[in-house]
């Protein structure tokens, strides 16, 4: 009997040991082999390959090799980077799994002074300083086409120099783009005609605008000179025309015929191009407005555009800092998903576009074309002469005086579709002249050029000593999407600009905006009062050259009053500010009380009631 007991105990202990081993074994095995089954609950499916990426991977023409370089040892003290590396590797593995052998992945730790380190640098990776023991940290991807394999096109070698954790939302896009570019036999050609310094100035070390840098990664961008332009080559798949000013007839005719031949034109015009550097009045006395228009072609296409009126939109005003105060600028607009066309592939996945002093398009009464909006204002917008906006430079809030919303969504960017007629009917006899385009031809119109400028969508950030461009709006994606879409490849569109936006407390922001507005009104009121006092003081100043001998008694008392009033006004302003912040703090306090006290108090109450009932029941029970 005793022997049987021992046997059972031994059996149980053995079972416990076996259980431990099995648990560890199965856990490790499951984390290693069960890799792809997952449900992504995030609203934007951040962790799932988008159809766009899947499409790119499924359509690869030739085998590709990816090499992920990650400095294991040097990142021992950089846990944030290590966990991001895991995310990057998982994303790459998912793509490799999807590619069914077309994409191969190698992960290499480039230890200092090794061949691997040399090949990482040779592949175009940028190491950052700041690893353990001062080692350099490599964390990038090199992609190659496999030489000698089937498929056409030149061999390519592209890289992502460094995976910046701040770009996590663009991770999939960056990698998909790399695959896409590697797979392209050659880059599509894009033409650029601009009177703004988009391409930078290499002579004085001025880099191209970020938009152009982004375009150059995907396309072969060629700058064309409007002054000598007679014909746009058929190899130009998309032509970007930015800020056209005083185009020679020959160039206008070249554009006209390019569109009629089926070329893809994107026009950026502006009632006030803030980055136009030409002086308003030059040394020859020539006057120049910073606006642009394409009157002859617009008229032929049935487009109405007023180059001297600007769209204001107080409900989409961007906040700017002016002389130390934050205020809303009703001519600088932050347009969100509601203002972007979600049925158009170009704008569907974008979250935010910033524009500044934009104009708007409409159709002329006799137009035979259709206007399909891409970007619009909200219904709270109104249009004002651009002169008024120029005059309000020092005080943009003055634009809100007498504000009358037109209850109309102004079209800031649109596709123009239909049959286009030539603006040069008199040249009908010239050989090769086309009088009209095929039906359903298309031109894209954008009523703002500032949309392309860096200041509205990117900022330079310093990541561990490396300058990195970090986008806060999708303006660049908009331009790239347009070029992509018009040049015929749309796979990258659905991935781009995916959920770059953070989710702020909109209610608190609204409170803040309302508070700022109230503060400003009050401030202006008080400033006016101060100005009046100062003016009265000036009137009391002795006339220059007149009787000297110090201020009169009246002046003195006025000065004193002035000083006191100024102190009082400053205090009043502080009080106003304080009171407005108090509203936001009060909301915070209410929420804290509700979250920390309310439910616990209810639970206590229920407990007490239940206890009281039990006591009463047990008392009323006989015996």
Residues that bind other proteins (CB under 8 A): 5, 8-9, 12-13, 15-16, 19-20, 22-24, 26-28, 30-31, 34-35, 37-44, 46-47, 72, 76-77, 79, 82-83, 502-509, 588, 591-592, 594-600, 603-604, 606-607, 610-611, 614
For residue 397, the minimal CB distance to other proteins (Å) is: 24
For residue 8, the minimal CB distance to other proteins (Å) is: 5
Q: At what angle do helices 506-540 and 553-593 cross, to 10 degrees?
A: 170
Instruction: Report phi then psi at 63, rounded to 5.
Output: -70, 140
Q: Give the closest residue to 214 by CA, choosing from 489, 491, 452, 502.
A: 452
Q: Which is nearer to other proteins, 63 or 165 (CB)?
A: 165
Query: How many Cβ atoms sit within 10 Å of the Cβ of residue 90?
Result: 13
Cα–Cα dist 47/40, whole Å: 6
For residue 179, the minimal CB distance to other proteins (Å) is: 23
Q: Which is nearer to other proteins, 521 or 606 (CB)?
A: 606
Query: How many Cβ atoms sit within 10 Å of the Cβ of residue 198?
Result: 23
Cα–Cα dist 487/265, whole Å: 11
Q: How far does CA 299 lie from the centroid of its chain?
A: 33
Cα–Cα dist 220/562, whole Å: 65
Q: Which is nearer to other proteins, 295 or 336 (CB)?
A: 336
For residue 37, the minimal CB distance to other proteins (Å) is: 4
Query: How many Cβ atoms sit within 10 Å of the Cβ of residue 523?
Result: 18
Beta-carbon contacts of residue 392 (< 8 Å; ≥ 6 apart): 331, 398, 399
Query: How many Cβ atoms sit within 10 Å of the Cβ of residue 375?
Result: 26
Strands laid side by side in the 317-322 sheet: 317-322, 325-335, 353-356
Bridge-partner residues for 530, per DSSP?
A: none
**Residue 317: DSSP 8-state:** E
For residue 81, the minimal CB distance to other proteins (Å) is: 10
Q: Which is nearer to other proteins, 403 or 610 (CB)?
A: 610
Q: At what angle do helices 475-486 and 210-218 cross, to 10 degrees?
A: 30
Q: Which is nearer to other proteins, 47 or 562 (CB)?
A: 47
Around 482, how many Cα atoms within 13 Å sit in the side-chain half-sphere?
29
For residue 70, the minimal CB distance to other proteins (Å) is: 12
Q: Which is nearer to other proteins, 83 or 564 (CB)?
A: 83
Q: Which is nearer to other proteins, 44 or 406 (CB)?
A: 44
For residue 587, the minimal CB distance to other proteins (Å) is: 8
For residue 607, the minimal CB distance to other proteins (Å) is: 3
Q: Which is nearer to other proteins, 50 or 195 (CB)?
A: 50
**Residue 597: DSSP 8-state:** I
For residue 166, the minimal CB distance to other proteins (Å) is: 15
Exposure string over 346-363, b if 16+ CB within 10 A, otherwise e: bbbbbbbbbbbbbbbbbb
Q: Which is nearer to other proteins, 15 or 428 (CB)?
A: 15
């Amino acid at each position: 009997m005793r022997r049987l007991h021992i046997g059972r105990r031994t059996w149980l202990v053995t079972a416990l040991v076996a259980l431990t081993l099995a648990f560890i074994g199965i856990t490790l095995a499951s984390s290693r082999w069960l890799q792809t089954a997952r449900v992504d609950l995030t609203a934007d499916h951040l962790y799932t390959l988008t159809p766009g990426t899947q499409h790119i991977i499924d359509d690869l023409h030739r085998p590709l090799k990816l090499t992920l370089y990650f400095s294991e040892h040097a990142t021992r003290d950089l846990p944030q980077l290590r966990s991001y590396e895991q995310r990057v590797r998982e994303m790459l593995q998912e793509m490799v799994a999807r590619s069914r052998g077309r994409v191969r992945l190698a992960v290499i730790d480039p230890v200092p002074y090794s061949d691997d380190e040399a090949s990482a640098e040779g592949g175009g990776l940028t190491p950052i300083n700041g690893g353990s023991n001062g080692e350099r940290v490599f964390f990038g991807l090199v992609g190659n086409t496999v030489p000698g394999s089937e498929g056409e096109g030149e061999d390519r070698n592209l890289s992502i120099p460094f995976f910046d954790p701040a770009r996590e939302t663009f991770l999939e896009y960056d990698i998909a783009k790399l695959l896409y570019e590697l797979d392209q036999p050659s880059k599509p050609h894009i033409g650029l005609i601009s009177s703004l310094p988009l391409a930078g100035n290499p002579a004085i070390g001025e880099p191209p605008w970020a938009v152009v840098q982004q375009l150059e990664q995907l396309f072969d961008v060629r700058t064309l000179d409007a002054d000598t332009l007679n014909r746009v080559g058929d190899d130009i798949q998309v032509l970007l025309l930015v800020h056209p000013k005083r185009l020679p007839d020959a160039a206008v005719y070249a554009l006209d015929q390019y569109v009629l031949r089926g070329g893809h034109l994107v026009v950026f015009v502006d009632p006030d191009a803030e980055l136009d550097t030409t002086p308003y009045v030059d040394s020859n006395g020539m006057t120049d407005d910073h606006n642009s228009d394409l009157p002859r072609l617009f008229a032929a296409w049935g487009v109405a555009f007023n180059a001297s009126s600007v769209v204001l939109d107080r409900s989409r005003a961007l906040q700017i800092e002016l002389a130390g105060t934050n205020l809303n600028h009703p001519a600088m607009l932050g347009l969100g998903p509601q203002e972007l066309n979600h049925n158009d592939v170009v704008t569907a996945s974008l979250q935010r576009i910033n524009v500044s002093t934009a104009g708007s398009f409409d159709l002329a009464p006799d137009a035979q074309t259709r206007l399909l909006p891409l970007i619009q204002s909200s219904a709270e917008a109104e249009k004002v002469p651009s002169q008024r906006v120029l005059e309000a430079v020092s005080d943009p809030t003055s634009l809100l005086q007498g504000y009358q919303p037109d209850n109309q969504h102004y079209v800031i960017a649109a596709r123009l579709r239909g049959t286009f007629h030539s603006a040069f009917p008199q040249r009908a006899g010239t050989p090769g002249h086309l009088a009209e385009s095929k039906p359903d031809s298309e031109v894209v119109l954008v009523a703002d050029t500032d949309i392309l400028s860096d200041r509205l969508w990117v900022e330079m950030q310093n990541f561990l000593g490396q300058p990195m461009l970090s986008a806060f709006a999708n303006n660049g994606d908009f331009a790239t999407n347009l070029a992509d879409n018009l040049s015929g490849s749309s796979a990258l569109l659905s991935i781009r600009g995916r959920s770059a936006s953070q989710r702020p407390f909109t209610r608190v922001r609204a409170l803040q905006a309302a508070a700022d507005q109230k503060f400003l009104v009050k401030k202006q009121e008080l400033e006016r009062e101060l100005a009046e006092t100062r003016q009265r003081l000036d009137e009391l100043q002795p006339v220059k050259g007149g009787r000297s001998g110090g201020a009169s008694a009246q002046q003195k008392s006025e000065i004193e009053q002035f000083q006191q009033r100024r102190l009082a006004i400053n205090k009043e302003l502080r009080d106003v500010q304080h009171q407005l912040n108090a509203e936001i703090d009060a909301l915070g306090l209410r929420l804290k009380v509700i979250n920390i006290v309310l439910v616990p108090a209810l639970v206590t109450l229920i407990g007490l009631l239940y206890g009281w009932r039990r006591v009463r029941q047990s008392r009323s029970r006989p015996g």
